[in-house]
Amino acid sequence: MTGGSRVMLLPVFALVLVSGVLGIQLAHGGGSFAPLRPADPCAVRDVTSQVGGIDGLTERLVLLGLDGAACRLHVSREALTLELAQAGTPSDADIEALRAGLLSAVQRMKAADTLPRASDLVDEALDSTDLNSFVKAAIRALPDSVVDTALKTDDVLTRTIDDLDLRTLLANVDDEQSLTQQLDAAVTQAVKDSLTARLRDLL
């Protein structure tokens, strides 16, 4: 072996080693090992819930509503969630975006036919109200078709969202009892308003 070729042996060996190691790493995703990037909140996202009934509906509405609000505010859903969780008082813009997001979530679910019928939720809703037991029994006795004709889920939800004090709701997230009380009051009022409006339409 000549002196010149011997001089090159170690640099060539080093080059092969480095290229090999870096090549294998890049081929296995080296360089792109980074935290999950938040999805575009304006893109349509399928949301699911592990529970059914009112809890499941609420969860899906909140998830879609967050997407809608984040899309309006031009931030990610995650950034908005963290802001709402960490900020002392949410801004007016946040509250308005959240309300608009929730309302558009109702419309999206209605369009996708994923809103449950009112009759599917009546039993669960009655369980958590403090209505007289005779009134509860009377309502339960109504045929599903009557309930569904009298109450439209999207209408009740829209009225509930319009009526909700979202600032207080966000402040009550840590207090399950206050949260439930506030939601129950808003839903009950929305049901009353919806029934009144329905009666007015019929008359």
Partner 1 sequence: MRRAVAPLLTLTVALVLADSAVVTLALPDILVNLHTTVGQVAWVLIAFNLVLAIVAVPTAVVFGRAQPRLLTAAGIAVFAASSAWCAWAGSIEVLVAARCLQALGGAFALIGCLELLVAVYDERRGVATWITAGVLGTAVGPVVGGLLTQAFSWQAIFVVQVPCAVLAVPAALAVHAPPERAPDRHRPALRPNLALALLSAALTAALFLLVLLLVEGWRRSPATAALTVSVVPVAALAARPLARLLRPPTEVEVASGCFLIAGGLVGLAILPSADLAWTVAPQALVGLGLGLTMDRLTSSAMQLRLPRVRHAAWTIGARHIGVVLGLAILTPVFTANLRDAQVPAQEAITSLVLDAPLQPQDKVAVAHALGDELTSQQGRIPDLHRAFATLEVEPEARPATARLERDLDGQLERAATRAFRDSFLLAAGLALLALLVAVLPRRRSTP
C-beta of 5 vs 133, nearer to partner 1: 5
Residues touching partner 1: how many (CB under 8 A)?
Answer: 44
76 binds partner 1 (CB under 8 A): yes
119 binds partner 1 (CB under 8 A): no
Compute the distance between CA of residue 82 and CA of residue 194 in angstroms, rounded to an integer.
34
Q: Which two tokens stand for residue 12?
A: 């060539």
158 binds partner 1 (CB under 8 A): no
Compute the distance between CA of residue 152 and CA of residue 58 in angstroms, rounded to an integer.
16
36 binds partner 1 (CB under 8 A): yes
Q: Which two tokens stand for residue 75?
A: 């931030």
C-beta of 67 vs 155, nearer to partner 1: 67
9 binds partner 1 (CB under 8 A): yes
Rounded to a whole number of angstroms, the minimum distance from the CB of residue 30 to partner 1 is: 4
30 binds partner 1 (CB under 8 A): yes
Compute the distance between CA of residue 106 and CA of residue 154 in angstroms, rounded to an integer.
6
Compute the distance between CA of residue 203 and CA of residue 186 in angstroms, rounded to an integer.
26
Rounded to a whole number of angstroms, the minimum distance from the CB of residue 65 to partner 1 is: 12
Q: What is the DSSP string of 3-72?
A: HHHHHHHHHHHHHHHHHHHHHHHHHTTTT---PPPPPPTTS------SS-HHHHHHHHHHHHHHHHHHHH
53 binds partner 1 (CB under 8 A): no
Stretch that binds partner 1, among 81-89, 101-109, 143-151, 185-193 (CB under 8 A): 81-89
**For helices 118-127 and 133-141, what crossing angle results, to 10°?**
160
Exactly one of 53, 58, 154, 183 binds partner 1 (CB under 8 A); that residue is 58
149 binds partner 1 (CB under 8 A): no
158: which residues sit within 8 A by CB, 6+ positions away? 103, 106
Residue numbers of the site for partner 1 (CB under 8 A)?
6-7, 9-11, 13-15, 17-18, 21-22, 24-26, 28-31, 33-39, 49-51, 55, 58-59, 63, 66, 76-79, 81-82, 85, 173-174, 176
